[in-house]
Structure 1
Amino acid sequence: MTKTGGCLCGAVRYEVSGDPAMQLVCHCSHCQKQAGSAFSTIAGVPERAVTVTLGAPVTFIDHGESGQPVERQFCGTCGSPLFSKVMAAPGMVFIKTGTLDDSSWFKPSAHIWTKSKQSWVDLGDVPAFKTNPG
C-alpha cells in the first residue's frame, strides 16, 4: 500500500511504499523538543521505501539521549518535522506520522524512551521501554 504525506506548507511531499516495520511513540527529550509536544508518533520503514516527490527536506544532525547521531529532517520553509534516521536502526527511516495525509491506520506497538516521558502521559496497555527496546 502506498502512503503519501508532506509538510504543513506543501513544499515537501513524499510517498511510502509498503507497510511499516514498526509503529512507536517516542518520549525522548529530543523528540519532545522537535515535536513541541510530549512525544512523537513515528512509523519505521525501510529507507528504500520512502521517496521524496517534491522539494527536499533539510537535515539537522542531533545526538539523541543515547548519545548516538540522529538525522532529523524537516521542511526548511515551514519547519515541519518529517523524518528521523537513527544509528540504532540503520537502514530505517522514522516518519513523523502527523505528516501523513491519512494516519488513521497508525496504532503504536510500543512506547520508547519512557524514562523521559511527561508524568501526565498515560501509556495504557501498550508495551513500554525505558530506552530503546532490545
Structure 2
Amino acid sequence: MMRETRSGGCLCGAVRYEVAWPPLGVSACHCTHCQKQSGSAFSIIARVPREALEVTGILTDFYDTGESGSPVIRRFCAKCGSPLISEIQQEPLDSFFFIKTGTLDDTSSVVPTSHWWTSRAQDWFKFPDGAVIMDRQ
C-alpha cells in the first residue's frame, strides 16, 4: 500500500505535524477521560507508528491514568491548548501515537471503524452498522 503524508496542527498554528497516511486505524474512544479532554461525547483518534509522526512546536504534557489503569500522556499545544496527541504507556500500544484527527488539515476519509469504551458512551449515541464495538479497550 502506498503511503502519503498528511499535515496538521493546533488551532493557533504554533504546533505543526506531518504524519504518514493512511493510519493503522481510526477509532472513536468514548471513555470519560476522552470525553473530558475533548469537551465532547468522544475523541476520534488515528493510530500511527511513532516513527510515522514528526512534530514541530512546543507541546505541554498532561500525565493521566486511563480508565484501563494504564498511564496516558496527553499532549497539547503549549500556547492555545489544542489536544493533539495521546500516548498509552502499555505494551503493545506504547509503540504508537494516537493523533486527534480533528487536528488534521485534511480530514477526508477519516472514518472511525472501531469504538472503544462503549460502556461509557453517551446514551443518545447510535453506533454505526458494521463498526467494531468494544465495551472496554
Shorter-chain TM-score: what band?
Answer: over 0.9
Matched, 1:9 2:12: yes
Hey, what's the Cα distance between the residues in 2 that align with 1:50 and 1:112?
Answer: 23
Query: CA deviation digits over 1:47-81, x for unaligned, max 9?
Result: 110001x3121111100101110010011111100
Q: 1:120 — aligned with what?
A: 124
Hey, what's the Cα distance between the residues in 2 that align with 1:17 and 1:104?
Answer: 15
Hey, what's the Cα distance between the residues in 1 that align with 2:122 and 2:21?
Answer: 33
Relative to the length of structure 1, the TM-score reads 0.94
Q: 1:109 — aligned with what?
A: 113
Matched, 1:85 2:87: yes
Which blocks of at least 5 consecutive residues in structure 2 are unaligned?
none
Residues 1-134 of structure 1 mapped to structure 2, 5 A cutoff: 1-52=4-55, 54-88=56-90, 89-125=93-129, 126-132=131-137
Cα shift at 1:127: 1.7
Hey, what's the Cα distance between the residues in 2 that align with 1:96 and 1:66?
Answer: 19
Hey, what's the Cα distance between the residues in 2 that align with 1:18 and 1:7?
Answer: 18
SS at match of 1:121: coil
Hey, what's the Cα distance between the residues in 2 that align with 1:71 and 1:47?
Answer: 14
Regions of 4+ moved over 2 Å: none
Cα shift at 1:19: 2.1
Hey, what's the Cα distance between the residues in 1 that align with 2:22 and 2:96?
Answer: 13
Hey, what's the Cα distance between the residues in 2 that align with 1:102 and 1:124?
Answer: 22
Q: Aligned residues, how many?
A: 131
Q: CA RMSD in A?
A: 0.9
Larger mean CA deviation between 17-26 and 109-118 belongs to 17-26
Hey, what's the Cα distance between the residues in 1 that align with 2:86 and 2:100?
Answer: 8
